[in-house]
Amino acid sequence: MDTKTQYIWQGAFAQLEKWANPADSFLVTDENVFAAHKSKFKGWNTIVLKAGEAYKVQQTVDVVIDRLLAMGAHRQSTLVGVGGGVITDLTGYVAGIYQRGIRFGFVPTTLLSMVDAAIGGKNGVDVGEYKNMVGLIRQPHFLLYDFNLLKTLPLAEWRNGFAEIIKHAAIKDAKMFRDLQTHTLNHYRKNPIDLASLVKRNAQIKIKVITQDPLEQGERKLLNFGHTLGHAIENKYALSHGEAISIGMSFAAWVSAYIKGYKDLTALMGLLQRYGLPTLSDFDARQAFKVLVKDKKSNGVDIHFVLLAKTGQGVVQPLLLVQVEQLLKDFQKLVHHG
């Protein structure tokens, strides 16, 4: 990996100065985060963007670059993405290309970005319906975890984060799967100690995987569980990332039951529902397939699909695209016929 990321667990936003000098650092955030935590940005050069996946596009990258130039950002400057996955992906990408690459770090403000989006160095933007089609892999210098930032997080965002947490449990950690089965979203929301330990446990699952395989040549592919179909329907149906990958995980688990004899399909779907996530959805299988063919994991003939051999053990398996097309149609019959 190009950089060893420093993880500051249980930090406070106010400590950010230790990792980024306010004189030549530039914070990138969105309107929602800025409005919720306005006082924290005092004294920092800040670029405030409109919120939402619709703004994770090249046009916003150009806006940020113009602002950085106007504000005097130089090669020794540090960019800090303060926000959820859209902000961290976009900031990491700008930092990777501005003056051919400058130092950057993140302060994740959502559960999803704390356990997933801010970790791993894949940064970039969407192109129309195609998620993350343009970007690069470059590791942040630091990640600062301030759990107090979650206090203003809306329920839908909590659910988003739990979709990735359940993904980690499904592919890597059967014990965590069982723990999640005995708790609820509200339990974690109200118990800061359990929440901090759950976040760290999940972040560490991802850190371990990406440290061993930063360029996604093997093990890292497992993190795409649920994301192949998820990404194909997320933008088209304006689903949240959590909702989209929850449907994607249900599909992948259903395929796993069929191809791998995976036994916990009902338990997995039940766990997703327990955390307020959808498992089936009336998407257009033909349209989803058209987008899925363009997935970065596909070579036009087959696609590396993540399946479950058992709970806690994800496996990567190439599936022929024609087979995936048929499986998608069959999966849709569950929606229509139960």
Distance CA 309, CA 315 (A): 7
Amino acid identity of residue 24, one-letter, is: D
In Å, the largest CA–CA distance within the chain is 61
CA separation, residue 97 to residues 7, 91, 135, 136 (Å) = 23, 10, 10, 9
The one catalytic residue in 40, 241, 243, 297 is 241
**Is 164 a residue of the active site?**
yes
Q: Rounded to whole angstroms, how far apart are CA atoms 187 and 205?
A: 22
User: Per-residue x/- marks for ligand GLY, 84-103, CB under 6 A?
Assistant: -----x--------------
3-state secondary structure string across 94-134: HHHHHHHCCEEEEEECCHHHHHHHCCCCEEEEEECCEEEEE
Query: Choosing from 141, 167, 172, 231, which is the catalytic residue?
Result: 231
Q: What share of the chain is helix, strand, coil (3-state, %, to 5)?
A: 55, 20, 25
CA distance 138 to 322: 34
For the CB of residue 123, give the shortest distance to ligand GLY in the complex, in Å.
Answer: 6
Total chain residues near ligand GLY (CB under 6 A): 6
Residue 117 binds to ligand GLY (criterion: CB under 6 A) = yes
DSSP 8-state class, residue 55: G
Closer by beta carbon to ligand GLY, 111 or else 117: 117
Taking the complex as a whole, the smallest distance from the CB of residue 51 to ligand GLY amounts, in Å, to 18
The window from 33-41, 113-121, 189-197, 329-337 that contacts ligand GLY (CB under 6 A) reads 113-121
Task: Tell me whether residue 216 is one of the annotated catalytic residues.
Answer: yes
Q: Which stretch binds ligand GLY (CB under 6 A): 44-52, 98-106, 118-126, 269-277?
A: 118-126
Q: How many alpha carbons lie under 13 Å from residue 252 in its C-beta half-sphere?
A: 34
Single out the catalytic residue among 40, 56, 172, 220.
220
Between 85 and 312, whose beta carbon lies closer to ligand GLY? 85
Q: Which of 83, 120, 242, 314 binds ligand GLY (CB under 6 A)?
A: 120
- CA 221, distance to chain mean position in Å, is 14
Closest to ligand GLY by CB, 89 or 157: 89
Q: Applying CB under 6 A, which part among 117-125, 188-196, 226-234, 328-336 lies near ligand GLY?
A: 117-125
226 binding ligand GLY? (CB under 6 A): no
Stretch that binds ligand GLY, among 9-17, 119-127, 300-308, 311-319 (CB under 6 A): 119-127
Work out whether 242 is an interface residue with ligand GLY (CB under 6 A). no
Q: Which of 53, 157, 164, 234 is catalytic?
A: 164
Q: Which two tokens stand for residue 310?
A: 């058992």
List the alpha helices (DSSP H) in 154-191.
Answer: 155-172, 174-182, 185-190
Which one of 67, 122, 141, 168 is in contact with ligand GLY (CB under 6 A)? 122
Q: Nearest-CB residue to ligand GLY?
A: 120
Which residue type occupies 28? V
Which position among 121, 230, 278, 314 is part of the footprint of ligand GLY (CB under 6 A)? 121
Vertex 138: Cα angle to 136 and 140 (nearest 5): 135
75 is catalytic: no
- The one catalytic residue in 32, 103, 202, 216 is 216
d(C-alpha 259, C-alpha 114), whole Å: 33
CB of 133 to ligand GLY, least distance (A): 14
The residues near 112 (Cβ < 8 Å, ≥ 6 apart) are: 84, 85, 157, 160, 161, 163, 164, 241, 242
> Where does this chain bind ligand GLY (CB under 6 A)?
89, 117, 120-123
Catalytic residues: 100, 122, 164, 206, 216, 220, 224, 227, 231, 241
